[in-house]
Chain A
């Protein structure tokens, strides 16, 4: 009788061994399949698990906060009260997808340090404060809303800077998304949809994408020419309808394919005002690749931006990449030249600030739980791009653009506005229309760049981007 008993028991032990293998599989091998499943309620709960610090604007508007769960005070829900308006800048904090935006850049400061990691433990023993820290941003809530609303249904971005300090006053990117939706239980599906959207709602187009700056780059070319004595505002140029490019089958045309003005000669300031392509291509060739390259570097091209958020580098080709045709095409902001909206705002800001480019920044202060400042950003000069005299000359030319040129729709009543429009060539890889500018001209308090993508076949910087800039400037300058 013992033999069948042993057999049955052996069978039972094989079954127990199967149990051991099975739990080992679930808990040690295929763990992530269950632990990280979007259906696992712990995933959604853990997203909002710990307390994080506040993120507020310069005027004290709350952009991100942690609210304690009424049923469990040790758990917190992360809220983004301003929703889509700041979505790409503030980002979100999610264990599912990781942190994004400032939530990512300042994860260490914002997080509660009561996780009992080794470093936290040491800090706790040293008596250091472990509560999460808060961020105060340079953004102005009303201006941010104005920028976001002005973009409306367009796909595009706006960056507004304080030219005196480099503080980012507004940074909007459309279309946007609700960051709180990334913390919801169905976040996986939602994020898939957002990622698949060709309009890239999750991307901060103000800093994370580069576009051909088109004619707004003429500000850089004009600055380089004036600074280096190649030409002045009254220097006359032949108003060619077409500029054939030596060593290339292509040629430079003006917008509309005719002569820019009357076909005779045009002074540089008028050519700037009406954005004459053939003249600026000639001017670029006269300035020469090394000098133009040098100036573009001063404006911030080909270098990391140094913003708190990770931003794309804007690109201007090196002199040995620039043969004649390439230089001519680059001088009107086409071909390989690529810029982020932030970079073009920096260009406008440099001219506004007497040729001095201030380092842009988003976070003005880091504050501890008691409101005490732990770290404060002091404005810093990034580069002295051109002389104050050059800046004044270029500013005057830019004022002409808004007063009577291509950018009249950015006008603000009783305020002198300087600007430059830009419209990419029909043949460009991506269609972008631009307006960059600053105001008031005598004492600039704002410099901005507006870009709108795929705005339509006949859209230009003057008809699409300039009105948006006008709305924003009106809001900022008309109390």
Chain B
């Protein structure tokens, strides 16, 4: 596929976004108004700039990345607009900012490629840790940067400049920094980490090489304890173990990681009532439909009501779902676009993961390989965890659905993933 086909597909996504806004307006008794034009121009500007950035600085990049990212953003945006036009207006700004940052990233890497990222790995580690710690800042102090507690979780940070307030989830960016660090660290240490010793019939990693695993586990668990963020801690630990396994080809890491995860999960469910509640809601949603099971039931009701073809955009009542425009955006799409919509969305994510892993498989350089894989795996696992959560395949973990959920930090992080994957795929052709 070439860049012109990519441009054509991007135009399709831009049309989906603006026409979707028009349909929502019509369904709710309104008219086709400036919102449609505004959406058209914002999407055109965001994806237009990315497209031209890729054309100019990564012309050999995979042409699948931007179209898939754009169509998911378009469907997500239309649903956010349908749920809350005020948040949609903010989301438009975030879209421009995220596309701008991704464009700048492509520009910065235009000569050097992703290689310099490798050199600054400890800076990324420090950034990741720092970002993860940000929400722990006091909630009430005079410093412009402070922690915010939302729904009992401490994931947010508020940045105040004069009258301007900006809430963001540093965890989203931290996730990205951590993947860069891990790719770099594992590429460097790959030979030593593969070393193993034999105990009887078993081949186990050098015990000292298990130290990083333990550190990651403690960090993830600390995240869970301090910020009550089930989703992020699970995601970070899984990404770490997966990348370690890929880099070393030692299944022992998987076993050790799996056991540690299970231990952590069981321990957490016993120690923390909020984790236990999630598990109860997962197993017995109907036992307390007004309280524990409320969220997941509202999600299932929305999906079930959507049935095969959905109620139609703007015609359903997805506003009944709690947090519909963030964590539960998938359920809102399921109600209004039906099974057709949900299968389409899942297929798009699967395709994006496949494209990302394909880039990793073709990469000749160890760092790029691990980076592309880590980014794709993070994206895929995060998507799986939240969709599985809202469809009651797994207990609910509060994380965003990439590209579709409302939220600036998430959008910026995922557009940066697109830019990095585009850059890596470009480098394989040069």
**What CA separation (Å) do A20 and B334 show in the bound complex?**
12
**What CA separation (Å) do A37 and B373 show in the bound complex?**
43
Which 8 residue pairs of A and B lie closest in terms of their CB atoms, listed nearest first?
Answer: A34-B304, A27-B339, A40-B301, A35-B304, A23-B342, A9-B357, A4-B246, A35-B305
- Specify which of A5, A15, A26, A35 is in contact with B360 (CB 8 Å cutoff): A5
Determine if A8 and B242 form an interchain contact, defined as CB atoms under 8 angstroms apart: yes
Determine if A34 and B393 form an interchain contact, defined as CB atoms under 8 angstroms apart: no
A128 within 8 A of B: no
Q: In the complex, which residue of chain B has the Cβ closest to the Cβ of A26?
A: B303
**What CA separation (Å) do A176 and B29 show in the bound complex?**
40
Interface size on A, residues (CB 8 A): 35
Selected A-B contacts with CB under 8 Å, 30 pairs? A1-B246, A4-B245, A4-B246, A5-B361, A8-B246, A8-B377, A12-B377, A12-B380, A12-B384, A13-B350, A16-B346, A16-B350, A16-B384, A19-B388, A20-B343, A23-B303, A23-B334, A26-B334, A27-B307, A27-B308, A27-B338, A28-B307, A32-B304, A34-B305, A35-B307, A39-B289, A40-B304, A41-B320, A42-B316, A42-B317
B303-333 near A? 1/0 per residue, CB < 8 Å: 1111110000000110010000000000000
Nearest Cβ on chain A to B349's Cβ, whole angstroms: 7
Determine if B303 and A6 form an interchain contact, defined as CB atoms under 8 angstroms apart: no
Nearest Cβ on chain B to A126's Cβ, whole angstroms: 24
**What CA separation (Å) do A74 and B384 show in the bound complex?**
37
Q: Which residues of B contact A15 (CB under 8 A)?
A: 384, 388
Within 8 A of B (CB), among A1-49: 1-6, 8-9, 12-13, 15-16, 18-20, 22-24, 26-28, 30-35, 37, 39-42, 45
Q: In the complex, which residue of chain B has the Cβ closest to the Cβ of A38?
A: B289
A368-407 near B? 1/0 per residue, CB < 8 Å: 0000000000000000000000000000000000000000
Q: Which residues of A contact B366 (CB under 8 A)?
A: 1
Q: In the complex, which residue of chain B has the Cβ closest to the Cβ of A37?
A: B301
- Specify which of A5, A22, A31, A42 is in contact with B246 (CB 8 Å cutoff): A5
Q: How large is the interface on B (under 10, 10 to 19, 20 to 34, 35 or more residues)?
A: 35 or more
Q: In the complex, which residue of chain A has the Cβ closest to the Cβ of B248?
A: A4
Within 8 A of A (CB), among B340-388: 342-343, 346-347, 349-350, 353-354, 357, 360-361, 366, 369, 373, 377, 380-381, 384, 387-388
Determine if A24 and B317 form an interchain contact, defined as CB atoms under 8 angstroms apart: no
**What CA separation (Å) do A45 and B354 show in the bound complex?**
42
Q: Which residues of B contact A4 (CB under 8 A)?
A: 245-246, 249
**What CA separation (Å) do A9 and B369 show in the bound complex?**
14
Q: Which residues of A contact B339 (CB under 8 A)?
A: 23-24, 27-28
**What CA separation (Å) do A33 and B300 show in the bound complex?**
10
B178 within 8 A of A: no
Given contacts A1-B246, A27-B339, A41-B320, whether A20 and B304 have CB atoms under 8 Å apart is no
Determine if A41 and B380 form an interchain contact, defined as CB atoms under 8 angstroms apart: no
- Specify which of A12, A34, A45 is in contact with B300 (CB 8 Å cutoff): A34
Determine if A23 and B353 form an interchain contact, defined as CB atoms under 8 angstroms apart: no
**What CA separation (Å) do A31 and B335 show in the bound complex?**
11
Q: In the complex, which residue of chain A has the Cβ closest to the Cβ of B294?
A: A39
**What CA separation (Å) do A310 and B261 show in the bound complex?**
65
Within 8 A of A (CB), among B269-323: 286, 289, 297-298, 300-301, 303-308, 316-317, 320
Binding site for A on B (CB under 8 A): 29, 242, 245-247, 249, 286, 289, 297-298, 300-301, 303-308, 316-317, 320, 334, 338-339, 342-343, 346-347, 349-350, 353-354, 357, 360-361, 366, 369, 373, 377, 380-381, 384, 387-388, 391-393
Q: In the complex, which residue of chain B has the Cβ closest to the Cβ of A6?
A: B361
Determine if A27 and B246 form an interchain contact, defined as CB atoms under 8 angstroms apart: no
**What CA separation (Å) do A383 and B205 show in the bound complex?**
101
**What CA separation (Å) do A13 and B316 show in the bound complex?**
31
Q: In the complex, which residue of chain A has the Cβ closest to the Cβ of B357?
A: A9
- Specify which of A1, A30, A41 is in contact with B317 (CB 8 Å cutoff): A41
Q: In the complex, which residue of chain A has the Cβ closest to the Cβ of B366?
A: A1
**What CA separation (Å) do A12 and B387 show in the bound complex?**
13
Q: In the complex, which residue of chain B has the Cβ closest to the Cβ of A3?
A: B249
Nearest Cβ on chain A to B125's Cβ, whole angstroms: 22
Q: Which residues of B contact A30 (CB under 8 A)?
A: 304
Q: Which residues of A contact B381 (CB under 8 A)?
A: 12
**What CA separation (Å) do A194 and B354 show in the bound complex?**
57
Given contacts A24-B343, A26-B391, A27-B334, whether A34 and B249 have CB atoms under 8 Å apart is no
Q: Which residues of A contact B245 (CB under 8 A)?
A: 4, 8
**What CA separation (Å) do A467 and B246 show in the bound complex?**
92
Nearest Cβ on chain B to A50's Cβ, whole angstroms: 13
Q: In the complex, which residue of chain B has the Cβ closest to the Cβ of A32?
A: B304
Q: In the complex, which residue of chain A has the Cβ closest to the Cβ of B303?
A: A26
Determine if A20 and B306 form an interchain contact, defined as CB atoms under 8 angstroms apart: no
Q: Which residues of A contact B354 (CB under 8 A)?
A: 9, 13
**What CA separation (Å) do A32 and B320 show in the bound complex?**
18
**What CA separation (Å) do A34 and B354 show in the bound complex?**
33
Q: In the complex, which residue of chain B has the Cβ closest to the Cβ of A24?
A: B339
Within 8 A of B (CB), among A34-71: 34-35, 37, 39-42, 45
**What CA separation (Å) do A30 and B306 show in the bound complex?**
12
Q: In the complex, which residue of chain B has the Cβ closest to the Cβ of A9?
A: B357
**What CA separation (Å) do A399 and B338 show in the bound complex?**
70
Nearest Cβ on chain B to A72's Cβ, whole angstroms: 9
